Amino acid sequence: MNQPRVNRPLTVAVVGVGEMGHNHARCLASMKGVDLVGVVDTDFDKSTQVASMYECRPLRSIQELPRVDAAVISVPSALHAEVGCELMARGVHCLVEKPLALDREQAELLVATADSAEVVLQVGHIERFNPAVRQLKALVEDGVVLVANARRMSAVSGRVTDIDVVMDLMVHDLDIVLYLMGGQIAGVDARAIQGPNGTDHATALLSFLDGRLASLTASRITQNQIRQLEVTTKDRFFAVDYPNQELLIYRQGRIEGVEGGDSTGGRYALDVETRRVFVRRTEPLLAELQHFVDAVMGIHECEVDGHGALRALDLVWRIQALLEDSDHGS
């Protein structure tokens, strides 16, 4: 195990206190061994309001930040590289909200800066810290995931309008598919529907070199919120409900000696066993931040770093390119 990098409370700032940044501040203020020293936002009224709630300093810009050990960056995606690179160049460990960046040049710059400065760069793929997903990962560790099917559906919202649904929502499931399945992607296909904010509904099919498949659908124009993942292995089927942090296992068995038999003359029946896995419910954001703090402290390596985020973004950009070509061809 690495030696802790600090032996005092970790000083942390949050840069950008919109809805997500506010939640980061709330969690950090509640964590042991963490000193939330300031929140930064160009809207000073907003940073003042959040700072008053969590007893820290309101700041207008990162230039006003005192020396801190770490920062959470929750500014608009287009600013991730500018803010992240400046802070990491100062030696500040950073958790950057997803997506890491909007284009390859900025994403690779963030990763290179973190490597050069020898700081932790964690990316906010929060579903990695959903306890149902952690439990699923442990259960399929020794097997092979043959097929994954992910659905992430939301109603129309003004929450995010600067990026399409692939970068906004599907990137979560692309990261989870890579986390669970590994391997090399052989092919990608995609289709989309345009909505109020551009590409608001998309479906992608990933084929792996070894023949395995993953299907992903993300939408911002449905009337119901759905966050589901289904995984098939050789002998089991798993179903994850993200919001409820539930994991079900389905296993098909044979009951021998049944009267009658089927058309082939066999004398058996199929029975499906369903089991609900115990999942200790936690707040994924709090678990994500604790993982970041522990990585900065040198307790463990960061699992969700910039290099891993680049793999998911590579797929985002491939899907976006396919959709753009499809639009031009129509």
Residue 297: which of 31, 93, 74 has the closest Cα?
A: 93
Same domain, 229 and 183: yes
Same domain, 198 and 92: no
325 inside domain: yes
**Per-residue pLDDT tens digits for 111-131:** 999 999 999 999 999 999 999
Same domain, 153 and 110: no
Count of residues making up the chain: 330
4 inside domain: no
Which residue spans within the chain are E strands per DSSP? 10-15, 34-40, 57-59, 70-73, 93-97, 121-124, 147-153, 185-195, 198-208, 213-219, 226-232, 237-241, 246-256, 268-277
Report the pLDDT averaged over residues 19-30.
97
Same domain, 321 and 247: yes
The DSSP secondary-structure symbol of 249 reads: E
Is 0.85 surpassed by the pTM of this model? yes
Residue 1 pLDDT: 33
**Per-residue pLDDT tens digits for 151-203:** 999 876 666 667 899 999 999 999 999 999 998 999 999 999 988 878 999 99
1 inside domain: no
- Number of domains comprising the chain: 2
Residue carrying structure tokens 């929450």: 159
Same domain, 186 and 66: no
Q: Is 203 helix (H, G, I), strand (E, B) or coil?
A: strand
Same domain, 106 and 234: no
Residue 187: which of 322, 71, 52, 287 has the closest Cα?
A: 322
User: What range defines the domain where residue 228 resides?
Assistant: 128-282+314-329
CA distances from residue 13 to 69, 75, 82, 166, 218 in whole angstroms, order as listed: 9, 13, 16, 29, 32
Same domain, 118 and 217: no
Residue 10 pLDDT: 97
